[in-house]
Amino acid sequence: MLDPKLIRNSIDTIAAQLKKRGFIVDVAKFHALEEQRKKGQVEMQTLQNTRNVSSKAVGLAKAQGKNVDEIMNDLKKLSEELKLKEEQYAHVQSELDHFLAQIPNLPHESVPEGKSEEDNQVVRTWGVPRQFSFTPKDHVELGANQGWMDFETAAKLSGARFVVLRGALARLQRALIQLMLDLHTREHGYLEISVPYIVNADCLFGTGQLPKFKDDLFAAGSGESERYLISTAEIPVTNTVRDQIIEAEALPIKYVCYSSCFRSEAGSYGKDIRGMLRQHQFEKVELVQIVRPENSYQALEELTQHAEKVLQRLELPYRVMTLCTADIGFAAAKTYDLEVWLPGQKRYREISSCSNTEAFQARRMKARWRDESGKIELVHTLNGSGLAVGRTLIAILENYQDELGRIHVPKALQPYMDGVKVIE
């Protein structure tokens, strides 16, 4: 969430900045709500002062032995009027809070302006796409034909956009998860953390999924007991610092977490319906950093390089993209996407998004830190996939296939596969 004071003082400037990312701020509505809030606040304060004066008058009249019935009646009317004004003020404040909660983060000055994903910019590339002596197959042909990847059974169990992995492919997925966790904990300095897959609405508000993206979530329970399946481990991991004041010496905090993720994909009807590219349930290794504000953009570069290192270890060609203003996520101030080369599709596909949300999530979560002088301010939060396991599995199948349909295991994974070099 943006600073309400900043919005009040610079609403027109903020509206112009957010227009670059395709978000239109209803400035007139904001001014109307803010005027109602100010008016209600003045009316409440006036009534509270009048009530305080009347209360003192009652005490004085009683001490003098005077009749206080008329003053008491006036005081009762004042209290009733004040209660009504407080309810009206609370309603306006709730409307204003909802309005502010819908406003996305401001893009960082280094984010390129654009109107769609076509305006994203290539930062760097790594590796050279392999030249095949045969026509490479996509992951569905490779996996389903061998019985490793079963969409029919998954559909019988759960419906569309699920998969059952068997044998060597299930083992390869497990090996990928272990490689990623080992790399990030042993070489990149992250602390592994395991979190619940079901969270409350406060967590989802804190990281920005609620209220805007409720349709993308799977709800568990209803009413007061309503909870949600996580769409990314970023949600519970980042919320571990919600409502906390972190001491300076504890920063930076660096967590890595493996989890299943669950998304309804409400806005993706008909998109990427083939295979494992876009599923309701998928596996991911998530990186989260909680840092001092002055270090957050250095941390973004570092976190992105940590995600890249997984692709380098697996020797998978990829490119790094800076997302333009129209393509960055709701909470992000700046995002790098990693896109891996998929020969079966003859194109690069996203495998990780690494974002700096600055203080946007921290303000919603009330996550703060105390500096060496004792001053308390909001932390900055960052997150990124290190990596999306299913898409990494797809990339290995397609990049390491041979003309017989066998999959050659990347060298970095062979120790996790008991030395197996080829999946027959």
Q: Write out the catalytic residue numbers.
A: 263, 278, 350, 353, 391
Q: 275: closest CA among 137, 417, 424?
A: 137
**Strand pairing of 368-370 and 245-247?**
parallel
For the chain, the domain total comes to: 2
Nearby residues of 172 by Cβ (< 8 Å), 6 or more positions away = 393, 396, 407, 409, 413, 417, 423
Decide which of 74, 101, 128 is a domain's last residue. 101
Task: Give yes or no: residues 301 and 417 share one domain.
Answer: yes
Beta strands in 94-193 (DSSP E): 121-126, 149-150, 164-165, 191-192
Q: Do 186 and 218 contact (CB within 8 A), yes or no?
A: no
Confidence of residue 265 (pLDDT cuts 50, 70, 90): confident
For residue range 56-75, what is the model confidence (pLDDT) as tens digits? 887 787 777 777 777 788 88
Q: What is the pLDDT of residue 267?
A: 62
Structure tokens at 249: 């010496």
For residue range 270-297, what is the model confidence (pLDDT) as tens digits? 677 788 999 999 999 999 999 999 999 9
Task: Give yes or no: residues 63 and 133 share one domain.
Answer: no
Reported as type and span, the H/E element at residue 207 is helix 201-207
Task: Give yes or no: residues 36 and 127 share one domain.
Answer: no
Task: Give yes or no: residues 246 and 393 share one domain.
Answer: yes
For residue range 330-385, what is the model confidence (pLDDT) as tens digits? 999 999 999 999 999 999 999 999 999 999 999 999 999 999 999 999 999 999 99
Q: How far apart are CA 4 and CA 9, in angstroms?
A: 9
Q: How far apart are CA 337 and CA 316, in angstroms?
A: 15
Residue 88 sits in a domain whose CATH number is 1.10.287.40
Residue 363 sits in a domain whose CATH number is 3.30.930.10
Q: What is the full DSSP assignment across 243-260? A: T-EEEGGGPSEEEEEEEE
Nearby residues of 64 by Cβ (< 8 Å), 6 or more positions away = none
Q: How far apart are CA 323 and CA 120, in angstroms?
A: 5
Q: 121: closest CA among 131, 108, 111?
A: 111
Maximum distance among all Cα pairs of the chain, rounded to whole angstroms: 107
Q: What is the pLDDT of residue 269?
A: 58
Confidence of residue 424 (pLDDT cuts 50, 70, 90): confident
Task: Give yes or no: residues 162 and 95 share one domain.
Answer: no
User: Is pLDDT at 34 greater than 90 in this prediction?
Assistant: yes
What's the whole-number mean pLDDT along residues 129-142?
95
User: Is pLDDT at 223 greater than 80 in this prediction?
Assistant: no
Q: Do 92 and 36 contact (CB within 8 A), yes or no?
A: yes
Q: 195: closest CA among 250, 244, 255, 247?
A: 255
User: Is pLDDT at 205 greater than 80 in this prediction?
Assistant: yes
Q: How far apart are CA 253 and CA 230, in angstroms?
A: 21
Query: Residue 152 belongs to what domain range?
Result: 117-423
Task: Give yes or no: residues 93 and 127 share one domain.
Answer: no
User: Is pLDDT at 392 greater than 70 in this prediction?
Assistant: yes
